[in-house]
Every structure is written in C-alpha cells, then in structure tokens.
Amino acid sequence: MSDFEQLPFDGTEPRAEVPGGPGEAEALPADDDGPGEPAAEHAAPVDGPAPATKPRASFQASAGIQGRQFAEQCDTLLAHFGFELKGRRVLTEVGVEIDQEAVSPGGTTVWFEYKGSIQGKRPGLIRTDTLKKAIANGALLRSLADPAPYVVVTSHLPEAGSGAAMLDAALRLRYFADVVCLYDPKATARLGAW
C-alpha cells in the first residue's frame, strides 16, 4: 500500500487547509482543481481515456489530517502538564511561524514546533527535510535578542545516519531547548521542568 492510500477516502478528499502548517502538507500543483474551478470528473468529456486519478491530492489530504491530529495530541499533552496555550505565533522579523506559544505553570513562555505523524515511511524528524526545517527555524529564532526556549515535539526521532548527526549538532548549537518524542514517557516528563 503506498503512502497516499493509507487513509480511506470516499472520493471527496478534503484539501489541506494551511500549506506548511502542522503536518507539513504541501501546496497542490497549479494544474489541480482549486476553488472555483470545475472538478475534473465533472468537466466536459474529452476524447480518449479518462485522465488518471491524482494520488497526490489524497496524500496531501492524508498529511493534513495527520498533521492536525498530531497537533491536537501535542496540545493535549501540554495542557496536561499545565501549560496555558496561546496559539500560533508568527515572528515576522525572522520569518518563523511557531505552532504553539505556551506559558508553563512556572510562568516561562515556551515556543513549540510540532513535527509528526503516525503513518508514512519517514515520519517526524526521521525525514531529513523536516528536520532541516526545524533546525533552520531554531537557528533563526536564536538570532532574536531574547528568544523563548524553542522545543520541538515529534513523533519519531532519527536514530542513526545523517539525521542523527544533524540533530546532535543542532542540540550542541542550542538551536533547540529540547526535542521531545510525544510517545516516549521519559521525554515527555521533561516538559514538567519548564
């Protein structure tokens, strides 16, 4: 079964609402049916065989759904630890959007980035381009005069290879205050220290 077939759809796939938001859903190609355009299955008949279905839209819908579900799990975990959730924050001076700004029970403001899913071949920070984006955001945030601690909550951590090396380097450079695997109780317990 390929990635785009992992969630069942009945032919009315929802499209990812916010490209680049939780779940990292990519924007649809320009030739896809968009709002205000007739759906391909309702377009005028064309000579020859019907066009092939576009599995990318299903993959994108799946990624968007998974991203939202993962973000809800992260928010629930933070609330369980007593964080006051403030919502998304865009730091225009460095071009970074924070998934969740939260205030700990001790009064510390913490910026959280969510990177995860439960399906796919390379979920969470195992996917190196996802890891690189988190590292870039961490580096940009460190350029601010007084940045809040930046914590990445992920579903999966790289265990070896270039991904593990990149993560180790980013932690040494203090681009992240912490990286927490949502499904590791020892890691999530560290959230109580803020």
Residue 80 lies in a domain: yes
110-162: per-residue pLDDT in tens?
999 999 877 767 778 988 889 999 999 999 999 999 999 999 999 999 989 99
What lies within 8 Å, CB to CB, of 99 at 6+ separation is: 21, 22, 71, 74, 88, 112, 113, 114
Name the domain count of the chain. Answer: 1
Do the domain assignments include residue 18? Answer: no
Residue 192 has pLDDT above 60, yes or no: yes
Q: Domain of residue 154: give its range.
A: 68-193
DSSP annotation of 115 reads E
DSSP, collapsed to helix, strand or coil, labels residue 151 as: strand
Q: Specify the pLDDT at position 123.
A: 76
* Contact between residue 49 and residue 93 where contact means Cβ atoms under 8 Å apart: no
Predicted confidence band at 3 (pLDDT cuts at 50, 70, 90)? very low
**CATH number of residue 133's parent domain:** 3.40.1350.10
In a domain, 62, yes or no: no
pLDDT digits (tens, 9 = 90+) for 57-111: 675 676 678 778 899 999 999 999 999 999 999 999 999 999 999 999 999 999 9
Cβ–Cβ < 8 Å for 156, 181:
yes
Residue 169 in this model has a pLDDT that exceeds 70: yes
Q: Locate tokens 């980035």: which residue?
A: 113
Q: What is the pLDDT of residue 171?
A: 96
Q: How confident is the model at residue 55 (pLDDT cuts 50, 70, 90)?
A: low
What's the half-sphere exposure (Cβ side, CA atoms, 13 Å) at 66?
A: 24
What span, in angstroms and rounded, lies between the C-alpha atoms of 194 and 190? Answer: 8
Most confident listed range (14-28, 39-53, 171-185) = 171-185
pTM of the model: 0.68
Confidence of residue 34 (pLDDT cuts 50, 70, 90): very low
Residue 115 lies in a domain: yes
Q: What average pLDDT score do residues 26-54 get? A: 46
Structure tokens at 35: 């709002």
Nearest alpha-carbon partner for 60 in 18, 114, 105: 18
Return the pLDDT at 126.
86
Does residue 61 sit within a domain? no
| pLDDT score at 47 | 57
Closest CA to 72 of 155, 163, 147: 155
